[in-house]
């Protein structure tokens, strides 16, 4: 296994950080790694907000529910961003062009949103690997998709710039031992040529170790593992807030799709 594969294999989320800033050259290397990430049509359908203001970091710690965000030496917000292209098209009088050519003028719809999300996440993961190679740990914060109203105001986000992930970075504290998280067996994840749905037996086998780990909690709450997982992932307070917030963030993109269907 070469050095890069070893780095990927041992990487795990870091949620506590040494009390020192990330070196300027390291920050630049991390940001440059994002710029070199693969991107659809080289259009770079994402933007990155570097969050340095302590008050904004504390606000994120509150809205996302993770106190360590406020202490992270480097915090980057990744946006799925079509606003730049909307503004570019408007600046080039595309509406008039469409009228003259008999074309429908269209705003970004969910297809462009998904493409933008892919661009943003590829760029984000590039920074994670780059940081890891420099001895800098990181942690993804998916909760950034909640509390849309607060985050829009906090970062002056326009309609077509959607928060897709937040990343915290920092050097590990001295003496900290990171334990690699186990993953599901690859036979449940990797398919050959076509998707194969897992049987109940397959799913029971896949979740065997997790069921053992949560056996006490399951017994105390009188739930099975699917019920416990559903309650937390689909019906918990954070999940319901995320559902509400993402619905709000999607409105501009869905409006374009609704308009096209109506036509």
Residue 42 CA to residue 88 CA, distance in Å, equals 15
pLDDT of residue 1: 85
- Mean predicted confidence (pLDDT) in 50-74: 98
Asked whether residue 223 carries a pLDDT value surpassing 70, the answer given is yes
Asked whether residue 245 carries a pLDDT value surpassing 70, the answer given is yes
Q: Percent of the chain having pLDDT more than 70?
A: 97
pLDDT of residue 181: 87
pLDDT tens across 146-202, in order? 999 999 999 999 999 999 999 999 999 998 888 888 899 999 999 999 999 999 999
In a domain, 130, yes or no: yes
In a domain, 262, yes or no: no
Give this prediction's pTM: 0.94
Q: At what angle do helices 148-155 and 237-262 cross, to 10 degrees?
A: 80
CATH number (domain holding residue 154): 3.40.109.10
pLDDT of residue 166: 98
Residue 125 CA to residue 30 CA, distance in Å, equals 10
pLDDT, the chain, mean: 94
Residue 38: burial class (beta carbons within 10 Å; 0-12, 13-18, 19+): exposed
In a domain, 227, yes or no: no
pLDDT of residue 261: 55
In a domain, 140, yes or no: yes
Q: Which domain holds residue 122?
A: 3-181
- Mean predicted confidence (pLDDT) in 88-111: 94
Domain count, the chain: 1
């Amino acid at each position: 296994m070469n050095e890069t594969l070893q780095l990927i294999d041992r990487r795990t989320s870091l949620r506590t950080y040494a009390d020192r800033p990330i070196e300027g050259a390291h920050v630049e290397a991390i940001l440059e790694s994002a710029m070199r990430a693969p991107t659809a049509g080289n259009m770079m359908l994402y933007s990155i907000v570097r969050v340095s203001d302590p008050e904004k970091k504390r606000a994120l710690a509150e809205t996302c529910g993770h106190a360590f965000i406020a202490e992270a030496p480097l915090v980057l917000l990744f946006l799925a961003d079509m606003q730049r292209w909307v503004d570019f098209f408007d600046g080039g009088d595309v509406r008039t062009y469409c009228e003259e050519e008999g074309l429908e003028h269209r705003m970004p719809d969910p297809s462009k949103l998904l493409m933008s999300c892919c661009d943003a996440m590829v760029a984000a993961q590039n920074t994670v690997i780059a940081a890891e190679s420099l001895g800098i740990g990181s942690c993804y914060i998916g909760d950034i998709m909640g509390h849309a109203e607060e985050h829009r105001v906090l970062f002056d986000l326009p309609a077509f710039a959607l928060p897709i992930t937040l990343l915290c970075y920092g050097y590990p504290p001295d003496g900290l031992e990171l334990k690699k998280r186990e993953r599901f067996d690859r036979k449940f994840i990797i398919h050959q040529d076509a998707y194969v749905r897992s049987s109940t037996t397959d799913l029971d086998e896949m979740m065997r170790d997790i069921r053992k780990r949560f056996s006490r909690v399951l017994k105390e709450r009188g739930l099975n593992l699917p019920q416990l997982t559903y309650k937390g992932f689909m019906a918990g307070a954070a999940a319901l807030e995320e559902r509400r917030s993402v619905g709000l963030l999607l409105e501009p993109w869905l409006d374009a799709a609704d308009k096209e269907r109506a036509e």
